Amino acid sequence: MTLDIPLVNGTSSCTVNAYSEESYKKAIEFYKTFLFLEHRSLSSTSTLLFNGIVSLKLELHPDSVKQQKINLRIEELKTNVAKKDWRGMVPESLVFNTSDILVAKQSLVDLKLPKQCYPNEFFPMQLYTLDPLGNVIGVTSTKNAVSTKPTKPGVQDVEGRSSALTSRVPSYTNLKTHAAAPSKSATIAGDRMSQKAIGIMTSGGDAPGMDACVRAVVRTAISKGCRAYAIMEGYEGLVRGGPEYIKEFGWDDVRGWSSLGGTDIGTARCMEFKQREGRLKGAQHMIEAGIDALIVCGGDGSLTGADLFRSEWPSLLQELLETRRITEQQFTRYKHLNICGTVGSIDNDMSTTDATIGAYSALDRICTAIDYVEATANSHSRAFVVEVMGRNCGWLALLAGISTSADYILIPEKPSSSREWEEQMSSIVTKHRKRGKRTTIVIVAEGAIANDLTPITSKDVHKVLSEKLGLDTRITTLGHVQRGGSPVAYDRILATLQGVEAVNAVLDSGPDTPSPLIAVNENKITRKSLVESVKLTKSVAEAIHSKDFKKAMALRDTEFVEHLNNFMAINSADHNTPSLSSERRLKIAIVNVGAPAGGINSAVYSMATYCMSRGHKPYAIYNGWSGLCRHESVRSLEWKDMLGWQGSGGSEIGTNRVTPEEADIGMIAYYFQKYQFDGLIIVGGFEAFASLNQLERARDSYSAFRIPMVLIPATLSNNVPGTEYSLGSDTALNALMEYCDVIKQSASATRGRLFVVECQGGNSGYLATSAALACGAQASYIPEEGISLDQLTLDIEFLAKSFERTEGRSRFGKLILKSANASKALPAEALADVMTSESGGMFDAKAAIPGHIQQGGLPSPIDRTRATRLAIKAVGFIEDKQTAISEARGADSVFDAHDKAMIDTAAVLGVRGSHVLFTNIRKLWDTETEVGKRIPKVIHWQGARDIADKLVDRKRVD
């Protein structure tokens, strides 16, 4: 018989002894037939039987005396089959959940084995029989399996032990125990009543990362001593109720879910829940399941329903009590309901949060598609109209436009009359074509409208491009591919952190606590009011529908407005009249310093095009400081020469790790003076950080450096002080995550296989920690902690036990992440060898080194758009600081290097918590930097590291 799901579950693992070869063979056949278990011979005297949840080991220990005792016990039990309850005659019975108890009953009839049925033979809820070894084995159709304990002191088995069959029934209150437990293990009834139960559902449109959120909620709830329930099919499952739709989830039920797209617990539209009777059913089913709190991952509609459900909860319970659908005890026990929202939506249309789960994954699909389309467009000098999702929100179209340097975008927030948008688009496209651009990309949000609310379709745009401009035009509608696929690293991490915070929020909430929504602002997870967030979100759509577009734009987050202004500025470049008067125009240089990182070219392109739109003259210093000193490699940047830079990897103007003092700081000052630079933007990692410090300290000696200077951090290591985000770190993380996903798939195909993946990052463990969180790695070793022998021993023991318990189970490839500098004595190959030799034969480890693929590839949309945002802010910084520094540029006699206003003109532009801010280099270098180690003194990602370890139940040496 083949089943899609295991027929039985409930017990972690058992070891059963047979004392004769005949009983050993019969026992194998019994468990294969009765419990539908697969089997694999471990040796001539040992067999493993399993179904992915149940793991039963059968061992042969020939002993005629013990076998004779077992034969007598079997005869005694058979004699009393109709007289006594077997459970009171044996020290212990073992019971499993079954999906169909009648199938199990029929198998006993076919095998002609004795059986006891409770409460009756016709409609049994529990069924018991005897295995060939004299053990009482049962199955039950009730919610939880039950393992009975001896009822009389002194009851012993044939070997004089208290039990012949080991049944492990761990409590959910112990995370470390449950990590190795089965997916639907039984718990003691008394403990269950005292435990809080948290439900998680996904609702509305699916979004990549929802499964990662479910995983985080389930495991965090269990780790905090709660029971976790998944409500299948969204509100539809809540209305239908029952164990088919409201399922208790265990630790291993969500194994491997971080990398899954969509939602494995399902989502569906439910019109019935919009009616009070539907919500009444949902309340009853939640109480029947024992759920105290509900976490909803969905869009504004789903979260609106959740908050309405909570506001009605007291009246719903009162009605259920009055109609006797719940008891007084249940009414008292579940009097208050706490609800928390996490936003899963590819449109990123929720107010008060910068990003929603799935949005950046969808954006990644769009940018990849447009990158492909642009290649064929360039071959034929074609125009492409790309239609993307976004009914009331143009976020996807806007950020895709920035990421791919699209010629024009159409979004619902900024409509114009039909004639205006046609003329404006035609003008921009014509200017781009006249300046030598061979491709035209126009992105249309599905909700794009004119100011009279008339929809603007991709066909409308196609007509203008082909008929009015005479361009060979094609339409590409991306559709639901935007929803599909594995989530990008950002969405995995965002969903995980929000899932953890959601559990914390419902546990912190009291009866009067407003329902929270878990949001992210810049780089910080925050709690916002669910009601207010949904209200603001709906206000945008209402403003659009009432043609109040100014209000709609004002209601959008400031970051959305900023992105829109940025797109319009860099898109105009030098094609229009500059926005600044001639006397305010500056010469601004940009240089790349350090290793390549995704987004560097995006920063250069955005800085240059924005400068052009303002009237500034942008210069590039090619090949870093050494290129300047040796070859005077300074060139002004022209728009046509930079076509395609926004989405290209590497560094088009070249980069190296040489600092000004190593190159020749005096020569650098000479060239700065020669070209009369008014400002400098440095893009790079720790060498760029050191370069800014050296130039700022040299101001006393070289007046050429008395200009505003700003650093945009760009390094995959993310080790620059003054920021929690560096350009390139997201691109590198995605490359490493994809590599780990492939390696993990290989590990899953081979039993007992572990991969040790060695990643870059210098002395910073950011990349290893983030990849471990995104991929669900069992451990990560980082330079900040090193690899202690005690921790390594503990990790090996845990891995060995984990592999021992999970024979035959799917999706069980395991990973270890190691930063290259975590241990010089233990490179990846040596670490893998040590783990293999110390594993006791339970697993073997292999080394995998992705190397410089972490530095290569196309930049991610996050790095592209943030590069644009930071580059434009950097130009704004240089403009703002001109007044403060103008008097000090000339005469040495009046220059004060310690003047606070002067010190602040050399700064690092970074993301800290929920803010983007400038911090002067002197403060960072003197007070916040471990210069020798090239890392900040404060590890801003430590919290994420703790979560990564907790979600895989990694035990840490104190």
pLDDT at residue 272, as a whole number:
94
- CA 30 to CA 112: how far, in whole Å? 11
Q: Are residues 719 and 736 in the same domain?
A: no
Domain end, chosen from 462, 482, 502, is at 482
Q: Which of 41-55, 482-496, 602-616, 808-822 is predicted least confidently? A: 41-55
Say whether both 344 and 416 belong to one domain.
no
| pLDDT tens string 290-326 | 999 999 999 988 999 998 999 999 999 999 999 999 9
Same domain, 846 and 863: no
Environment class of residue 905 by beta-carbon count within 10 Å: exposed (0-12), middle (13-18) or buried (19+)? buried
Spatial separation of the C-alpha atoms in residues 892 and 884, rounded to whole Å = 16
Least confident residue range of 176-185, 596-605, 754-763, 789-798:
176-185
DSSP 467: I
- Higher pLDDT among residues 182 and 86, named by residue: 86
Distance CA 888, CA 43 (A): 84
CB neighbours of 929 closer than 8 A, spacing ≥ 6? 689, 721, 935, 936, 937
Q: Which parts are annotated binding residues?
A: 205, 269-270, 299-302, 345-347, 382, 389-391, 446, 474, 480-483, 657, 715-719, 753, 760-762, 846, 852-855, 934
The pLDDT value recorded for residue 805 is: 74
How sure is the predictor about 152, in pLDDT bands with cuts at 50, 70 and 90?
Answer: very low
How confident is the prediction for the chain on average, in pLDDT?
A: 88
Asked, for residue 541, whether it belongs to a domain, the answer is no
pLDDT higher than threshold 90 for residue 260: yes
**CATH number of 921's domain:** 3.40.50.450
Q: Report if residue 554 sits inside a domain.
A: no
Q: Which of 911, 726, 858 minimizes the C-alpha distance to 364? A: 858
DSSP E strands in 555-678: the ranges are: 587-593, 617-621, 634-636
Taking residues 449-472, report their average pLDDT.
Answer: 95
Residue 462 sits in a domain whose CATH number is 3.40.50.460
Selection from 486, 500, 603, 413 nearest residue 207 by Cα: 486
909 within 8 A of 710, measured Cβ to Cβ: yes
Residues 834 and 887 in one domain: no
Residue 346 and residue 261 in one domain: yes
Q: Are residues 253 and 396 in the same domain?
A: no
Per-range mean pLDDT, top range of 148-152, 660-664, 749-753: 660-664
Amino acid occupying residue 945: R
What is the pLDDT at residue 550? 86
Assigned domain for 159 exists: no
- Whole-angstrom CA distances from 475 to 20, 369, 385, 388, 782 are 74, 12, 5, 11, 48
Answer whether residue 887 shows pLDDT above 90.
no
Buried b (16+ CB within 10 A) or exposed e, 851-869: eeebbeebbbbbbbbbbbb
Q: What is the pLDDT of residues 318-328, one digit of tens each?
A: 999 999 999 99
Residue-wise pLDDT tens digits, 832-881 = 999 999 998 889 999 999 998 998 889 999 999 999 999 999 999 999 99
Together in a domain, 333 and 307: yes
CA–CA gap between residue 703 and residue 673 (Å, rounded)? 8
Residue 1 pLDDT > 90: no
Which domain does 427 fall in, by range?
361-482
Annotated binding site for Mg(2+): 300
Predicted local confidence at residue 122, as pLDDT: 65
**Mean per-residue pLDDT for 595-612?**
97
In a domain, 394, yes or no: yes
Q: What is the DSSP letter of 788?
A: -
Q: What is the pLDDT at residue 193?
A: 53
The token duo for 813 is 């490839």
pLDDT exceeds 80 at position 363? yes
pLDDT at residue number 448: 94
pLDDT class for 55, splitting at 50, 70, 90? confident
- Binding residues for beta-D-fructose 2,6-bisphosphate, by number, are 657, 715-719, 753, 760-762, 846, 852-855, 934
Same domain, 440 and 366: yes
Q: What residues are designated binding site for ATP?
A: 205, 269-270, 299-302
Q: Evaluate whether residue 562 is within a structural domain.
A: no
Tell me which of 141 and 405 has the higher pLDDT. Answer: 405
CB 369 within 8 A of CB 397: no
What is the enclosing helix (H) or strand (E) of 387?
Answer: strand 383-388
Other Cβ atoms closer than 10 A to 289: 21
In the prediction, which pLDDT does 844 show?
92
Share of the chain above pLDDT 90, in %: 67
Domain end call among 140, 163, 197? 140
Q: Residue 158 domain-assigned?
A: no
Cα 849–Cα 854–Cα 858 angle in degrees, nearest 5: 145
Q: What is the pLDDT of residue 276?
A: 94
pLDDT at 561 over 50: yes
Average pLDDT of span 497-512: 94
* Residue 49: CATH number of its domain: 3.10.180.10
Please tell me the distance from the alpha carbon of residue 377 to that of residue 369, in angstroms, as a whole number: 12
Is 510 among the domain residues? yes
| From 307, 347, 349, 407, active-site residue | 347
- Tokens 């914390």 locate to 504
Please indicate, yes or no, whether residues 509 and 637 belong to a single structural domain of this protein: no
Is-catalytic flag, 347?
Answer: yes
Model pLDDT, residue 890 = 52
Mean pLDDT of 341-351: 93
Q: Which two tokens stand for residue 346?
A: 């590819």
Helix, strand, coil share of the chain (percent; to 5):
45, 20, 35
13 and 136 both lie in a single domain? yes
In a domain, 887, yes or no: yes
Q: Which pLDDT score is estimated for 13?
A: 61
Compute the average pLDDT of residues 379-398: 94
Same domain, 235 and 372: no
> What letter would DSSP give residue 618?
E
- Mean pLDDT on 798-818: 79
From 89, 112, 140, give the residue that closes a domain: 140
Model confidence at 165: pLDDT above 60: no
Global pTM exceeds 0.75: yes
| Residue 145 pLDDT class (50, 70, 90 cuts) | very low
Confidence of residue 166 (pLDDT cuts 50, 70, 90): very low
**Residue 29 predicted with pLDDT over 80:** yes
| Size of the chain in residues | 958
Binding residues for substrate: 345-347, 382, 389-391, 446, 474, 480-483
Tell whether 817 and 867 lie within a shared domain: no
Q: How confident is the model at residue 117 (pLDDT cuts 50, 70, 90)?
A: confident
Q: In the chain, how many domains are there?
A: 5
